[in-house]
Amino acid sequence: MNFRPGLGTRLRLLLAALDDAVEQAYRDAGLNFRPRFYPYFRLFMARDSASVGECVTALGFTQPAATQTLQTMVREGLIESIPGRDRRERRFALTVAGRAMIPDLEKVWDATTNAARALDAALPQPLGTTIDAALEQLERQSFGELIDKERSE
């Protein structure tokens, strides 16, 4: 009997293959950067600063996940905590070192975008299109609801 891993396992394997290759591209370029930093970094490139809550709203991650990633980015020297409009607000912004990395990061991002296009061209249907369609469908009906429906039939 052939065993085929479940959907979640296959998605984790796919994500690991993609993330590992991108992380290696950063290392090869001499950059101390992780794929999970990308959406936050791009947000900080577009805005002077952002709070944890603004990151959560803009990027769709949970507050604990955003806090953890932001703390890691601070430790790596990519972003820094800056004063907010009042004492309670904690904001983050790119450091001088983080800004200095932008030209080298953009080269890796361009290569990654082109590699994603090549992958899409080699597939029966573009991966990005499939992912977007799945996410849109899951907004209409969660996977949990689908499981419940199948269990009750």
> Which distant-in-sequence residues (6+ apart) come within 8 Å of 108 by Cβ?
22, 25, 26, 29, 31, 33
For tokens 């604990």, the residue is: 64
Q: In the structure encoding, which two tokens stand for residue 114, read together?
A: 């082109």
Q: What phi and psi values does residue 90 have, to the nearest 5 degrees?
A: -110, 120
Instruction: Tell me the residue length of the chain.
Output: 153
80 in Cβ contact with 95 (< 8 Å): yes
Write out pLDDT tens, residues 83-120.
Answer: 877 777 789 999 999 999 999 999 999 999 999 999 99
- The CATH label, of 3.40.50.1360, 1.10.8.60, 1.10.3720.10, 1.10.10.10, for the domain at 34-98 is 1.10.10.10
H or E element, residue 121: helix 102-122
Domain boundaries, the chain: 34-98
Q: What digits encode the pLDDT tens for the residues 41-92? A: 999 999 989 999 999 999 999 999 999 999 999 999 999 999 877 777 789 9
pLDDT in tens, 16-29: 999 999 999 999 99
- Name the DSSP letter for residue 29: T
